[in-house]
Amino acid sequence: MSSFILLFGCLTLGTILQRVKNFPMNTPLVLNQFIIYISLPALALYFIPEVTLNKAILLPVGVAWICFAGSALLFWSLGRMFGWSRKLIGCLILTAGLGNTSFIGFPVIEALYGKEGLKTAILIDQPGTFFVLSTFGIALAAYFSKGKPDPKAIARKIFTFPPFLTFMLALLLNVFNLHFSDDLKEVFQRLGSTVTPLALISVGLQLRLERRSKHWGFLALGLSYQLLLAPLLIYLLYVQVLGIRGEMVQVTIMEAAMAPMITASIVAASYGLKPRLANMMIGFGIPISFLTLAVWYWLVQGI
């Protein structure tokens, strides 16, 4: 329950701080940079060296890749069909294609499935969602933010993205069976724990309820994919096609149904990909997702 209070409390706090006149206007930018340069790298260094690498992780890891590919195919096709701007297409692919598999996913999965379920959730998030964002997510953001894509510039963005660099370092440590001391792990954990409050305050600071906003239709479309179509896609592939049953596939479907990823919204906003829509995806997606997650939990119990 404390995790849910933290989520809604920080989001509300951000909207309140909008009304504080002396609060710096560039606060969201500063918070986002701190998350990208400090918090996310700390999370990678905390989790990745301890992950067990074997064939069993392929199904959980595949969730993020499948959902992201489905989002790219859907919104790129719709964008070409209806003549959407590059920035709108990029925003929808990025924010609807990656779920909040950690900061919302971890407490939800642990509450529903316990520690064993949390192990699966970590595999979905770190080698899955987090790695997709650090590679294809950054490449996509750079591609759609420019009039003419520059492969060298995109590659430079990826290989200078701090979370990606630390992810690769952490992966090497895992491969060579090297581990940090308990004291350092605690430091990384504490730094990484700042992502959720800082990110949600940043979103709250930028969230605007505009009744006549042109983004409402796109918001509904993006959330429909993230909260309904993405988990349905995983269900069809894993249960109906591959015939997998049990708790692991239940957790993968639930993780696929999580609200949009906070960090993906930050990246989209940082690259100028419709920042208001990106923040609306988080601000409205999180509370709505608790309703849709309850439905999905009821549906997957028979698997």
More confident residue, 149 or 116: 116
pLDDT digits (tens, 9 = 90+) for 55-95: 767 889 899 999 999 999 999 999 999 999 999 999 999 99
pLDDT, residue 212, reads 67
More confident site: 172 or 155:
172
Alpha carbon dihedral 22, 282, 216, 82, in 10-degree steps, equals 120
Q: Domains plus CATH for the chain?
A: 46-205+213-300 (1.20.1530)
Return the pLDDT at 121: 85
Q: Using one digit for the tens of pLDDT, what is the confidence trace for 202-258? A: 878 876 666 666 889 999 999 999 999 999 999 999 999 999 899 999 999 999 999
> Could you give the residue ranges of the DSSP H alpha helices within the chain?
2-17, 27-34, 40-47, 58-82, 86-97, 105-123, 131-132, 138-145, 151-159, 162-175, 182-192, 195-206, 216-224, 230-235, 247-256, 262-270, 275-300
Window from 5-9, 113-117, 154-158, 223-227 with minimum mean pLDDT: 154-158
155-164 per-position pLDDT tens digit:
787 788 888 8
Which stretch of 145-159, 163-177, 215-229 has the lowest confidence by average pLDDT?
A: 145-159
pLDDT of amino acid 209: 63
153 pLDDT more than 80:
no
Counting beta carbons within 10 angstroms of the beta carbon of residue 279, is it exposed (0 to 12), middle (13 to 18) or buried (19 or more)?
buried
The pLDDT of 289-293, averaged and rounded, is 92
Beta-carbon neighbour count of residue 265 at 10 Å?
30
Q: What is the pLDDT confidence band of residue 295, given thresholds at 50, 70 and 90?
A: very high
Does the pLDDT value for residue 15 go beyond 70? yes
pLDDT of residue 195: 79
The residue whose two tokens read 């933290």 is: 6
